[in-house]
Amino acid sequence: MSQQASNPVIDEIRSRLSATFSPEICLLEDESAAHAGHAGAASGGGHYRLKLVSALFEGQNRVARHRLVYHSLLDMMHKDIHALAITALAPSEVEN
């Protein structure tokens, strides 16, 4: 995933994820341009793809991991974030 130019929403998402998860990897891609004209884009919320690797995900199933991510971004959902595709992995699940 490529790193996009910085913007305030992306900066805030990264800041919250870093503070909450102390991730080994945090890749965030803004895919909003690919969704221009989509009904959700009209509200101003962006479309993002996230790959997050954190020790906090060890022993957690996929649903629990997604809930943790959504909880850390809760007040941004449906305002700044319309869609968030999440890949949340524990370090033991990442191939070297």
Per residue in 25-59, pLDDT tens? Answer: 999 999 987 756 655 555 668 999 999 999 999 99
Q: Which residues of 59-84 are buried (b: 16+ CB within 10 A; e: fewer)?
A: eeeeeebeebbeeebeebeeebbbbb
Identify which has the larger pLDDT, 56 or 2: 56
Write the pLDDT tens digit of every residue in 59-86.
Answer: 999 999 999 999 999 999 989 999 999 9
Q: Is residue 64 part of a domain?
A: no
Question: Mean per-residue pLDDT for 1-19?
Answer: 81
Q: Is residue 37 part of a domain?
A: no
Q: Is residue 39 part of a domain?
A: no
The range of the structural domain enclosing residue 93 comes to 6-31+84-96
* DSSP character string of 40-56: HHHTT-EEEEEEEE-GG
- How far, in Å, CA of 56 to CA of 87, rounded? 14
Write down the pLDDT at residue 35.
59
Q: Is residue 95 part of a domain?
A: yes
Q: Is residue 1 part of a domain?
A: no
Q: Is residue 45 part of a domain?
A: no
Q: Is residue 48 part of a domain?
A: no
Contact status, residue 55 vs residue 91, Cβ threshold 8 Å: yes
Number of domains into which the chain is organized: 1
Single pTM value for the model: 0.82
